[in-house]
Amino acid sequence: MTSVEEQYSILDKAEAYIRSKIQGPLSKPKTLIIAGSGLSGISDLLSEQFEVPYTDIPGFKASTVSGHAGKLIFGYIGDNKVPVVCMAGRLHFYEGYTFEETTFPIRLAKQLDVEMVVVTNAAGGINANFKAGDLMIIYDHINFPGLSGWHPLRGPNLEKFGPRFQPLSDAYDLELRQLFFQQKEKLGIQRSIHEGTYFYAAGPTYESRSESRLIRTLGGDAVGMSTVPEVIVARHCGLRVLALSLITNECVVDPPASAFDKNPKALDEGMATHEEVLEYANQASKDVQKIIEATVNEF
Ligand code: HPA
């Protein structure tokens, strides 16, 4: 585990690097937008773009997942020309990175004076009413790895950023959620948008049928392999959070085919694939982009 002093020092170096590359209003982005699987098209919304590859920034790790580009894109969004920074591609624990590494961009954003984080992800639908292609605004989460000690705030507390014991009962900003739904109505977007609880599973496997059933029993509405560590670190340093899941597949909760079945169901019935996840993300990304643009513009 890196010492507190080392963590502060590498963050300062990363901040200094960014500031050496970008000057003016763009160097003070108001919002950090994290683009999840297949959603990196969000960065197309930005005008006067300036890109910084992750690998050029001290302390920043590279994204290794296909569909995740691996660069910070600075630019302006909406009619109000709000300066933002977009993470095209995020870092996951399942890639082998520590939580310290996966959440590094959040603290860097804080040092760059960001006030709000918009987090997007692809997720499996656990709630029986959710269909592939729906969206879910996250209003709460279950940090399953965290409950048994795999927690992003484990270790010495970074006092400069926030308290030792961070409350999470209001992690997902009500005002921002209300603003999001107002913008959806205003834009006349038809896609179903639910509110629900995101269940964080570390991955990288998709869930077995019994795991999906367990997650439903525990109160999860959608399941995914990201977002929660970033949200926790964002709340720890006082950033406001808006988080959005795109439901890319419906998780199967029924038991599998039995060896005793006369006509067993197809073995791949309901099987989630990364290709399917990317395809649905692609189809929905225009709606996601429009509402995020409008929400960030009004914030
Ligand atoms: N499970 C976990 N993560 C996911 C899924 C899923 O079914 N779909 C997209 N990301």
Average pLDDT over residues 129-140: 94
Average pLDDT over residues 195-220: 96
Asked, for residue 180, whether it belongs to a domain, the answer is yes
Asked, for residue 181, whether it belongs to a domain, the answer is yes
Asked, for residue 262, whether it belongs to a domain, the answer is no
Confidence of residue 263 (pLDDT cuts 50, 70, 90): confident
The pLDDT, as a whole number, for residue 141 is: 98
pLDDT beyond 80 at 270: no
Mean pLDDT rounded to a whole number for the chain: 90
Q: Judge whether 274 counts as a catalytic residue.
A: yes
Q: How does pLDDT run across 74-89, given as a tens digit for each residue?
A: 999 988 889 999 998 8
Which carries the bigger pLDDT value, residue 36 or residue 99?
99
Looking at the 3D structure of the chain, how many domains does it have? 1
What residue's CA is closest to ligand 1, atom 10? 123
The pLDDT, as a whole number, for residue 69 is: 64
Confidence of residue 118 (pLDDT cuts 50, 70, 90): very high
Q: Model-level pTM? A: 0.92
The pLDDT, as a whole number, for residue 198 is: 98
What residue's CA is closest to ligand 1, atom 6? 124
For 136, the token pair is 């879910």
pLDDT beyond 80 at 63: no
Asked, for residue 259, whether it belongs to a domain, the answer is no
Residue 177 to residue 180: CA distance in whole angstroms: 5
Q: 248 with 124: CB under 8 angstroms?
A: yes
Cα of 223 vs centre of ligand 1, distance in Å, is 6
**Domain range holding 241?**
4-254+267-298
Q: Judge whether 157 counts as a catalytic residue.
A: no
Q: Judge whether 192 counts as a catalytic residue.
A: no
Per-residue HEC secondary structure of the chain comes to CCCHHHHHHHHHHHHHHHHHHCCCHHHCCCEEEEECCCCHHHHHHCEEEEEEEHHHCCCCCCCCCCCCCCEEEEEEECCCCEEEEEEECCCCHHHCCCHHHHCHHHHHHHHCCCCEEEEEEEEEECCCCCCCCCEEEEEEEEEHHHHCCCCCCCCCCCCCCCCCCCCCCCCCCHHHHHHHHHHHHHHCCCCCEEEEEEEECCCCCCCCHHHHHHHHHHCCCEEECCCHHHHHHHHHCCCEEEEEEEEEEECCCCCCCCCCCCCCCCCCCCCCCHHHHHHHHHHHHHHHHHHHHHHHHHC
68 is an annotated ligand-binding site residue? yes
Q: Express as a percent the part of the chain with pLDDT over 70.
A: 95
Cα of 205 vs centre of ligand 1, distance in Å, is 8
pLDDT beyond 70 at 149: yes
Average pLDDT over residues 45-72: 83
pLDDT beyond 80 at 287: yes
Catalytic residue, chosen from 14, 54, 76, 92, is 92
Asked, for residue 91, whether it belongs to a domain, the answer is yes
Catalytic residue, chosen from 226, 245, 285, 297, is 226
For ligand 1, mutation pick of 206, 207, 212 (most atoms within 8 Å of CB): 206
Q: Judge whether 68 counts as a catalytic residue.
A: yes
Confidence of residue 67 (pLDDT cuts 50, 70, 90): low
Residue 60 to residue 88: CA distance in whole angstroms: 13
What residue's CA is closest to ligand 1, atom 5? 124
Q: What is the CATH number of the domain that holds 288?
A: 3.40.50.1580
Confidence of residue 61 (pLDDT cuts 50, 70, 90): confident
Which residues are CB-neighbours of 165 under 8 A, at least 6 positions away? none
Asked, for residue 39, whether it belongs to a domain, the answer is yes
Q: Which of 168-172, 260-264, 291-295 shows the lowest per-residue confidence on average (mean pLDDT)? A: 260-264
226 is an annotated ligand-binding site residue? yes
pLDDT beyond 60 at 93: yes
Q: Judge whether 9 counts as a catalytic residue.
A: no
Asked, for residue 260, whether it belongs to a domain, the answer is no
The pLDDT, as a whole number, for residue 66 is: 62
Confidence of residue 219 (pLDDT cuts 50, 70, 90): very high
Q: Which of 9-23, 55-69, 182-196, 261-275 shows the lowest per-residue confidence on average (mean pLDDT)? A: 261-275
pLDDT beyond 60 at 104: yes
Q: Express as a percent the part of the chain with pLDDT over 90.
A: 63
